[in-house]
Structure 1
Amino acid sequence: MKQRLLWLLFVSQVFAEKPSVIIVGAGVSGISAAVKLIENGITNIKIFEAEDRIGGRIHTVEFGDNFIDMGAQYCHGENVVYDTVKNLDLLEHAELFSAPKMYYSNGSHLQSQLIQDLETVVTNYDRDINRTKGVSLGEAFLEKYQNTILDKYKNDPETHKLASDGLIFAHSTILMHEGAFHWSRPASGRHYKPVKGDQMMVWKKRGYDMILDVLLKRYPDPSQKIPIEEKLFLKKKVTKISWSGTPVVELSDGTTHKADHVIVTPSVGVLTHEDLFDPVVPPRKQEAIKSMGFDGIIKIILYFPEKWWHDSDSTFFFLWDRRDLEGVTKEFSEGPNSWVTNLVALVRVPSNPHVLIGWVSGGLIPEMEKLPLDVIKKGSMFVIRKFLGRDYNITEPKAVLRSDWHNNPNFRGTYSYEKNGYFEEEVHYQDHLAEPLTHGTTPVVLFAGEATHPTHYSTVHGAIESGRREADRIIALYP
């Protein structure tokens, strides 16, 4: 009896030392944190996810002849995503931008030296612009463009006009990369650091959600999967996190849940718009949240039963004549004014041979996300036929999808950027955002997600690394 009592006391003490953890959000950062905790013996976990699925801004859906990614699509370099799957033959190089075609709004295929120069300066803008405190990305790029493009062709009026029109294309393309509504919003300086390797890898099988299956060990051997189902609660939106003592999480259904630690992973867009914390977070963290921009882009995904493009085609870029811009509403008037001019590019999907993705950027994103799909379809086809109809016999798409990340209250955008007016070379606001809220010296509310990574923000690999970082922070408390 005495031995059994001692054993029960020992077991109770061991389990008392194992903490309870609530993870807010089942995106890739939350899933990565959960896996790391479980693999290190911390299994008293609840994951509350507002959507009806896991993955967050990774969202792969069946469409056309295969699958497509509504959100994250490309693996950028030899990062943690690449390292996780490199022996599974899941990634391949995307031959998308090696030989793009650029078309003018009068239907002509542009192939001049100017177009090569324009493609070079837009592709390399992030590397070549001057990084100046207090200067926006747009201002820095305009200075670069003036020096390398406009001045080069100033004695050739016809080409100079085309170069001036190229600024519109440059603006739209840069916004596509930055995820901002206007290039005055991001800072010219940034702390982002690319990793080595191929920056444009795509998934051979299905889509980006393969990384979730690999992280959870559901692939390649399902018998080894991490038992997460019983810890996962979908369609459970967190509305309040009280942290003055033992953290308490309140859900939209009115239930409350206590835990020793809470890992918060929602996007910086959600953190900006929602009053989640009681008491409010310290000024240093409030400033960190304000420092990160979070706007959005749109993918328009078109399925064509009859392919009209060539097998050698990979990407079409659209460059508008300013005069066509001014008169475009006379040609297509449905939806917000001139929204069709924000369709920047049309890109082939390697694994889905009858599908093209239109990439849309700019400040009309919130309004465009509300447009009926039939209007999106008609507007997209107007642009495609206007630019490419001279060289291609354009067929009609059978189905269309559109992403809507910005107007979804559980995301409110696509990926983060560093806002102009906040950037300082020696200050990483992402680190400030990642700092835990403490009770005494104990971290009780911890922060993960791509926007909390100091050098890999806006990426899936940054999100994974941040989730593992916060799991490690908890694991270190319970040696």
Structure 2
Amino acid sequence: MDKSGGKDGPSLSNHLVVVVGGGIAGLGAAQRLCRHPGFRNLRLLEATDRCGGRIRSQPAFGGVIEIGAHWIHGPSKNNPVFQLALEYGLLGEKEMSEENQLIEVGGHPGLPSLSLSSSGKSVNLKLVEDMSNLFYTLLDQTREFLHVAETPVPSVGEYLKKEISRHMFDWTEDEATKQLKLSVLKTFFNLECCVSGSHSMDLVALGSFGEYATLPGLDCTFSEGYDGLTNCMMTSLPKNVILFNKPVKTIHWNNSYKHENFPGETFPVLLECEEGEKFPAHHVIVTIPLGVLKEQMEILFNPPLPSRKAEVINSMGFGTNNKIFLEFEEPFWEVDCQQIQVVWEDASPFVDFEDELKDIWFKKLIGFLVLPPLESTYVLCGFIAGLESEFMETLSDEEVLSSLTQVLRRVTGNPQLPGPRSVLRSRWHSAPYTRGSYSYVAVGSSGEDIDTLAQPLPTDSSSPQLQILFAGEATHRTYYSTTHGALLSGWREADRLISLYDLECQQKFKP
């Protein structure tokens, strides 16, 4: 057997594999490959100075907060992130309990402990619960359109509004109460925008919405930070595998490239980094977020991506969901309060605000999660999605703090309420190597498009196979937008390469 990597191609133990991106998909792929004897020449190029990607825990307020991924969604036996966290001993007894793993929440957030309106009054929680039941009953109905030939309307938002209009005929309350119901429903629309990562539910395709799969289990968090998981994955890799601060400028592929470190050998792929350093490869696993692919695919790939894959990248949805953390010296909420909803009484699912973003951006804020008390400080975590969220990123900390102080004084009815003493927030849209938060199936795209995005290149059999493979949450058809979807996609592409290796082994050693 030729082990020199000459004219017959790379030797079986000498496949040069480069993983682009050190998020959980890239780490998962690298970890899987490193455990296989056929892949000893592996590099992971990370554009920044840290691994984790959209998993980003940060020391703050005397504890740890999650700038990115917050929960393990569906922590149960079929969730690979949950299983990996168990393997590394990163979860507490409650999170590991069998009782928690069996709870079915259907992917829907829990009810708020407190609902505050823009008139400074508390909203009756029974009314909030009724509107929640209506909203999520209708949302669950959208799954019925998964396999129909033609949907009644293109988007989830249009379907929900159409059905709400029908239900309104049965409302018998006074006009003020009917308007309050619509305002509460608008908050649930905004909440679902955060869940979906979209600016509006009118942008989310109805036909494919039911393809997204949820797992059983009560969503749980990492008490020491989500990045404990990615740090464990990172430290399990050989020391020379990860190279930081290596943003890839161009992936040259489907050619014969030479490299001074490998005289006499040619490679189908050559990666060129921003600072000019070049890495040859037989296979590249690209785990770059969809937002960056949208922005950079024309310069990132040479030759360009096939037109169908480029169309899919352009048509798929990728939005922004940001967090705003507010630190208080004293809480204005009760000890057992876990979630505060904010309701704007002039809002309705049927009417979009037409004011300039600078005047109304904060109205997209759905409310606040009450974080567990930290060292003599109290923290609320607000969530905001869409164009308003992206606009928020352009403001200074002082402007955000001032706006939200006024919002809190207004909804609590207390003009003297002490404002937060500090603010900290995510800026996922401005981040050059993410350009948003996560993917969704947009109107004009479908689940088949996700599979097209995940398809390796080249697609013809005459060229060296599996030159470029694609992973990341946007490439998982049923678990897109999740960390477990991202991890599974990394494993999928690693297994694809392992299968190729095993096939080569069989062919080389045939008697």
Which TM-score band applies after superposition, normalised by the shorter structure? 0.7 to 0.9
Please, which runs of 5 or more residues in structure 1 have no aligned partner?
1-5, 219-224
Q: How does 1:343-362 map to 2 (within 5 A)?
A: 343-350=365-372, 352=374, 354-362=378-386
CA distance in 2, matches of 1:115, 1:153: 15
1:322 counterpart letter in structure 2: D
Q: Which moved more, 1:122-131 or 1:27-36?
A: 122-131
Q: How does 1:364-383 map to 2 (within 5 A)?
A: 364-383=388-407
What is the DSSP-based 3-state SS (H/G/I as helix, E as strand, rest coil) of the residue aligned with 1:97? coil
Shift of 1:409: 1.8
- The answer to whether the aligner puts 1:233 opposite 2:257 as a matched pair is no
The question of whether the paired residues in 2 share the 8 Å contact of 1:51 and 1:236 is answered with yes
What is the DSSP-based 3-state SS (H/G/I as helix, E as strand, rest coil) of the residue aligned with 1:83? helix
CA distance in 2, matches of 1:17, 1:89: 36
The question of whether the paired residues in 1 share the 8 Å contact of 2:186 and 2:347 is answered with no
Shift of 1:349: 1.8
- Alignment equivalent of 2:34, drawn from 34, 38, 55: 38
Shift of 1:286: 1.6
- The answer to whether the aligner puts 1:119 opposite 2:132 as a matched pair is yes
Residue number in structure 2 paired with 1:137 = 156
- The answer to whether the aligner puts 1:432 opposite 2:421 as a matched pair is no
2:16 counterpart letter in structure 1: S
- The answer to whether the aligner puts 1:419 opposite 2:439 as a matched pair is no
Residue number in structure 2 paired with 1:80 = 80
Q: Which moved more, 1:264-273 or 1:289-298?
A: 289-298
Residue number in structure 2 paired with 1:215 = 233
Please give the TM-score of this superposition, normalised by the length of structure 1.
Answer: 0.87
CA distance in 2, matches of 1:323, 1:317: 14
Shift of 1:113: 3.8
Name the Cα RMSD after superposition.
2.9
Q: How does 1:5-20 map to 2 (within 5 A)?
A: 16-18=11-13, 19-20=15-16
CA distance in 1, matches of 2:182, 2:3: 76
Q: Which moved more, 1:130-139 or 1:90-99?
A: 90-99
The question of whether the paired residues in 1 share the 8 Å contact of 2:254 and 2:467 is answered with no
Q: How does 1:33-182 map to 2 (within 5 A)?
A: 33-41=29-37, 42-77=39-74, 78=76, 79-86=79-86, 88=89, 90=91, 92=94, 97=110, 99-111=112-124, 113-129=126-142, 131=145, 132=151, 135-148=154-167, 150-154=168-172, 156-182=174-200
Shift of 1:350: 3.1
Q: Residues 12 and 269 from structure 1, CA distance in 2 versus in 1: closer, same or farther, beyond 3 angstroms?
A: closer
Q: Residues 351 and 21 from structure 1, CA distance in 2 versus in 1: closer, same or farther, beyond 3 angstroms?
A: farther
1:27 counterpart letter in structure 2: G
The question of whether the paired residues in 2 share the 8 Å contact of 1:175 and 1:361 is answered with yes
2:141 counterpart letter in structure 1: D
How many percent of aligned residue pairs carry the same amino acid? Answer: 30
- The answer to whether the aligner puts 1:399 opposite 2:422 as a matched pair is yes
Shift of 1:378: 1.2
Report how many residues are paired. 453
Residue number in structure 2 paired with 1:449 = 472
2:169 counterpart letter in structure 1: D
CA distance in 2, matches of 1:351, 1:452: 37
Question: Runs in 1 of length 4+ with deviation above 6 angstroms?
Answer: 9-15
The question of whether the paired residues in 2 share the 8 Å contact of 1:85 and 1:214 is answered with no
1:144 counterpart letter in structure 2: E
Deviations 1:256-292 (A, max 9, x none): 2111101100111111111211111112212321232
Q: Which moved more, 1:239-248 or 1:107-116?
A: 107-116
- Alignment equivalent of 1:408, drawn from 402, 417, 431: 431
2:306 counterpart letter in structure 1: P
Please, which runs of 5 or more residues in structure 2 have no aligned partner?
146-150, 256-267, 503-511
